[in-house]
Structure 1
């Protein structure tokens, strides 16, 4: 069965090239140029992933992303932006985007990111289920029941708190996870002392995943974290 991609882009030349290339690569693609028309045929197509431009006529990409995620919260969305301001990227992730690309972009890179987002989506579904025996995260394997993280160089035995933090972060995939949410769920309150503890545990996880350069725990100051696994 072909992977379904809903592509929303109003630039005709870029849209046609991207649409044709994705089709040639074996994807089933619907291409829409008007943000106001997307939801009219979204349910009928039921995509596996969306590639969404931020600047669109009638309904902008951020608003559209929020509408889509309100109905399909687990759907991966790669948003495209010509903007370079970090605040705009944060807004995109807050709206529900799970990855982003800046224009102009390589079609080959877009295809890699699409495949990567589908893999992350599978990891999220797996890591959220505590009964699973094994979770693949990049070059690592995680065994939730044993709190064991198997790195290329050997096995790392996690503490229960490290395991909980990893499951919260990996379960969110490329979505912002708020510091306060982590503190309240794992420590029970968001005191200054516990907040400093969280910083220590995040540093530990970064060190554990240092053998795979495609895994990144990104800090968004004043917000929280992104757990990114790139292809």
Structure 2
């Protein structure tokens, strides 16, 4: 799972990064708000944002995130206890707020809860699973490596299992903010359906798709 971390305190940034990488997460980290702002569309599954950072603050970045990803988890970490700041964060769509100082365990729990991914391998049935670390589908003792777009699509489906994913959400996430035609999206879906060889991906007419799994 790919996470964007924005924290201008270098020591805290390094501490969070080290711990989350030990958990197997893929992190892209920033200490500067302007750089994080430019990277928002780069296919993330979760965002961790400090508010008071250089150049562009976390609230403005949160607004941009919601333009690309209406539902993906955003966790705000801040030393601010001002109710107006906290209210503003929630008004613009943050999913959770963590006040500094905090235990890194608290952050891990929030990520796992919001993303609903607690293992590196997610099983669809007893013979088939997706390995987030290696980006491969494991099926009947075979390993099938996915392309970048196939991997991003599976990541999106598995963070939103049993929820309808719109064409627009797939375009924003998998194509990382670039344009994708409806036929391009359908072609990608067909490829992934062939790989997993099951009817997990169901079409929602005129809307998008839903990944059905226990």
TM-score when scaled to structure 2?
Answer: 0.54
Distance in 2 (CA, whole Å) between partners of 1:78 and 1:8 is: 10
- Please name the residue that 2:23 is paired with: 25
Deviations 1:6-61 (A, max 9, x none): 101100111111111111111000101111111323333x1100000011110000
Aligned to 1:113: 110
Matched with 2:203 is none
Judge conservation of contact 1:10–1:56 (CA < 8 Å) in 2.
yes
- Does structure 2 retain, via aligned residues, the 8 Å contact 1:63–1:95? no
1 CA distance for matches of 2:162 and 2:83?
30
Larger Rg: 1
SS at match of 1:56: coil
Measured in 2, the distance between the counterparts of 1:70 and 1:80 equals 21
Q: What are the equivalent positions in structure 2 for 1:133-212 lying under 5 Å apart?
A: none
Query: Following the alignment from structure 1 to structure 2, what is the Cα–Cα distance between the partners of residues 52 and 81?
Result: 8
Distance in 1 (CA, whole Å) between partners of 2:164 and 2:68 is: 19
1:34 is aligned to 32
Unaligned runs of 5+ in 2: 118-155, 166-214
Aligned to 2:70: 73
Cα distance in 2 for residues equivalent to 1:24 and 1:111: 11
Aligned to 1:6: 4
Q: CA deviation at 1:95?
A: 1.6
Aligned to 2:85: 88
Per the normalisation by structure 1, the TM-score is: 0.50
Question: RMSD of aligned C-alpha atoms?
Answer: 2.3
Whole-Å separation in 1 of the counterparts to 2:97 and 2:11? 20
